[in-house]
């Protein structure tokens, strides 16, 4: 990859394993907006990014990060887009472990696991329970518009950042219910209070083992195995975690087990085969399975 500035924009050229559409729409992220054929507005924590990716030939082409300095890229987006990770090596490894991933990886070779903001990820996946992705996105947008911070970029694109713990702490359970989060309102309150009062700290969670961190997250009301696994994978950089939801269960049953299979057995299989790259394998499989309606009669 080549990085260089042009006017106020930053260009990432000769991209490898990078497709902004697949990255954003593969189900890991809920806070973005498609604003053009090749353009996306990404809200990540307290940052906003207008990014445009254009392909040439059969390569992944280049991305323009509008109104972005190289310093900002190195400080924020390099980590956010997981640019320090060698996806070629990951693909090789998980494909060698099990070739049935072949079509999933081939279908969406440009997926990356984002390093998303911890707090936003936690609240987002609490909201995700028993909801469809478009509706999750709608609720995240509502909360951001109501309680987040409005940001306007030099090129005129605007968006609302997800509220910080301090901003959400001021919001009562009743107000949350007015945002249509339903029975999740007390769950969100409990999460916000534990974060706000320092009962759970991101730095601590990052230092713990995965099992310790999961147990800590599950002390929050409304946070169980699946939500905490998503927070670990998408918000705490634990790439070896393999969240199993209703989709992954169906997908794994279709591709691997050919029969009704419990979550524990599915996880055991994933950790044995994909090891430290289980989270990546999960995301290729999830997106592939969902796009193809795998396991749905």
- Residue pair 244/267 in contact (Cβ under 8 Å)? The answer is yes
Nearer to DNA, 88 or 182 (CB): 182
Would you report the helix, strand and coil content of the chain in percent, each value rounded to 5?
A: 50, 10, 35
Least distance from C-beta 125 to DNA, angstroms?
A: 7
Q: Which residues pair with 32 in a beta bridge?
A: 42
- Residue pair 236/217 in contact (Cβ under 8 Å)? The answer is no
Contacts with DNA, residue ranges (CB under 7 A): 26-28, 128-136, 177, 180, 182-183, 218, 221-228, 230, 243-248, 282-283, 286
Least distance from C-beta 72 to DNA, angstroms?
A: 27
How far is it, in rounded angstroms, from Cα 202 to Cα 135?
27
Nearer to DNA, 180 or 197 (CB): 180
Least distance from C-beta 165 to DNA, angstroms?
A: 20
> Minimal CA–CA distance to 268: which of 236, 244, 233, 296?
244
Least distance from C-beta 155 to DNA, angstroms?
A: 30
CB-neighbour burial class of residue 167 (10 A; exposed 0-12, middle 13-18, buried 19+): middle
Nearer to DNA, 74 or 130 (CB): 130
Nearer to DNA, 73 or 247 (CB): 247
Nearer to DNA, 1 or 215 (CB): 215
Q: Which residues pair with 150 in a beta bridge?
A: 160
Least distance from C-beta 197 to DNA, angstroms?
A: 19
Q: Which residues pair with 2 in a beta bridge?
A: 13
């Amino acid at each position: 990859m080549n990085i260089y500035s042009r006017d106020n924009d930053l260009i990432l050229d000769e991209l490898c394993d990078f497709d902004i559409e697949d990255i954003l729409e593969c189900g890991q992220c809920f806070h973005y907006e498609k604003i053009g054929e090749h353009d996306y507005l990404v809200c990540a924590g307290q940052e906003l990014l207008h990014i445009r990716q254009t392909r040439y030939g059969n390569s992944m082409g280049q991305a323009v990060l509008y109104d972005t300095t190289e310093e900002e890229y190195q400080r924020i987006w390099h980590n956010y887009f997981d640019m320090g990770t060698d996806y070629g090596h990951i693909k090789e490894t998980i494909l060698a472990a099990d070739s049935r991933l072949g079509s999933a990886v081939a279908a969406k070779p440009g997926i990356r696991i984002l390093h998303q903001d911890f707090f936003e990820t936690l609240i987002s996946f609490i909201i995700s329970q028993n909801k469809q992705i478009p509706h999750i996105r709608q609720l995240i947008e509502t909360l951001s518009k109501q309680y987040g911070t409005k940001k306007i970029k030099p090129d005129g694109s605007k968006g609302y950042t997800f509220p910080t713990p301090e901003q959400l702490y001021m919001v009562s359970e009743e107000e949350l219910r007015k945002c249509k989060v339903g029975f999740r309102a007390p769950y969100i309150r409990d999460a916000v209070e534990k974060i706000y009062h320092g009962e759970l700290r991101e730095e601590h969670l990052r230092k713990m083992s995965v099992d310790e961190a999961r147990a800590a997250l599950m002390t929050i009301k409304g946070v169980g195995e699946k939500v905490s696994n998503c927070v670990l994978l998408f918000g705490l950089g634990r790439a070896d975690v393999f969240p199993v939801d209703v989709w992954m269960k169906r997908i794994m049953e279709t591709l691997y087990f050919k029969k009704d299979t419990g979550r524990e057995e599915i996880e055991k299989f994933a950790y044995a085969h994909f090891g430290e790259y289980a989270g990546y394998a999960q995301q290729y499989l999830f997106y592939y399975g969902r796009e193809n309606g795998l396991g749905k009669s």
